[in-house]
Amino acid sequence: MLAQADHARIAATIEAIEGKTSGDIYCIVAHEASNYREVPVAWAAIVALLAPPLALVAGANAAVLLRAIEGWSVAGTADSTLVFGLFALSFAQALLFALTALLASIVPIRRLVTPPFLKRHRVRSMARQHFVSTGLHLSPGQPHVLIFLALAERRVEILADAAIHEAAGAQAWHNASAAVTQGMREPDPTAGIVRAIEIAGRSLVEHFPATRASQNRDGLAEL
């Protein structure tokens, strides 16, 4: 997470830019966009459903598992073999579900097995929620830009309202996003965030210069 000095750098950059524009810039840094509680359950269900049938297809013998459980043995009739086979399958599925869910609940493993498309969706959804909430108190037509970072997902989303997006074009936001991404690979990741704020700020200052109603704001938040 950001240190206090990093907060000060980002806040100072935002304050300097907002003194020159009628628009607002917000920078929100989230440790993680979601807890992804469904991911361990989903992987547990997949493993529990697929592993036993695949094991049987590969030649596994249910009787071996049954003998390992309290010395049970399969009787010689077809009916008893079927019953004990179903019991072995149910037991194996329950055990696999519990073990997989427990393993996938460990945070580093859960992050590893979470599908990229789900991470992308959650980060975008959270960014849009914050974009809407930060714009609620603004005057009609007042432009604002949100720079949203999800550290665990290693993703950045930059959202701008229609007015500034149309005036500045998509390239400005692409450059700002690239600045954050590049900064995360450097020893000082805050420098990348500052560069992104400056890139977005130039567009706001150029197309929406300050008016007498403009005030200095602190648009930094960390979750």
Check whether residue 105 and residue 195 sit in a common domain: no
| Per-residue pLDDT, 122 | 96
Are 157 and 127 spatial neighbours (Cβ–Cβ below 8 Å)?
yes
* 188 and 121 in a common domain: yes
* 16 and 106 co-located in one domain: no
Predicted pLDDT at 219: 59
C-alpha separations of 143 from 88, 89, 140, 155, 212 in Å: 63, 60, 9, 24, 16
CA 49 to chain centroid = 27
Across the range 37-47, mean pLDDT stands at 95
Q: Which of 113, 144, 169 is the last residue of a domain?
A: 113
Same domain, 101 and 152: no
Q: Among the three residues 113, 146, 174, which one is the final residue of a domain in this structure?
A: 113
Domain final residue, candidates 89, 113, 137? 113
Q: What per-residue confidence (pLDDT) applies to 115? A: 95
pLDDT of residue 169: 85
Q: Rounded distance, CA 104 to CA 13, Å?
A: 40
Q: How confident is the model at residue 83 (pLDDT cuts 50, 70, 90)?
A: low
- Let me know whether 56 and 31 are in one domain: no
> Are 127 and 196 found together in one domain?
yes
pLDDT at site 148: 95
Its pTM stands at 0.78
pLDDT top residue among 217 and 205: 205
> Same domain, yes or no, for 121 and 174?
yes
Residues 206, 127 within the same domain? yes
pLDDT at 216: 45
The amino acid occupying position 2 is L
What is the structure's pLDDT at 55? Answer: 72
Q: Is the pLDDT of residue 77 over 80?
A: no
Statement to judge: residues 106 and 122 lie in one domain: no
Left, alpha or beta for 141 (phi > 0: left; psi -120 to 50: alpha)?
A: left
- Tally of structural domains, the chain: 2
pLDDT for 68 beyond 80: no
Residue 161: strand, helix, or coil: coil
* Residues facing 28 on adjacent strands: 148, 221
Q: Which of 46-50, 53-57, 95-99, 151-155 has the lowest mean pLDDT?
A: 53-57
Same domain, 168 and 142: yes
Q: In what order do the strands lie in the sheet with 24-30?
A: 155-160, 144-150, 24-30, 220-222
Q: Is the pLDDT of residue 155 over 70?
A: yes
Residue % of the chain over a pLDDT of 70 = 81
pLDDT in tens, 161-215: 888 888 888 888 999 999 999 988 888 889 999 999 999 999 999 999 887 545 4
CATH of the domain at 151: 3.10.310.50
- Do both 80 and 12 map to the same domain? no
Residue 218: per-residue pLDDT: 53
Same domain, 127 and 192: yes
pLDDT in tens, 95-144: 999 999 999 999 999 999 999 999 999 999 999 999 999 888 887 778 89
Instruction: Give the residue numbers spanning the domain of 103.
Output: 38-113
Which residues is 209 bridged to in the sheet? Answer: 21
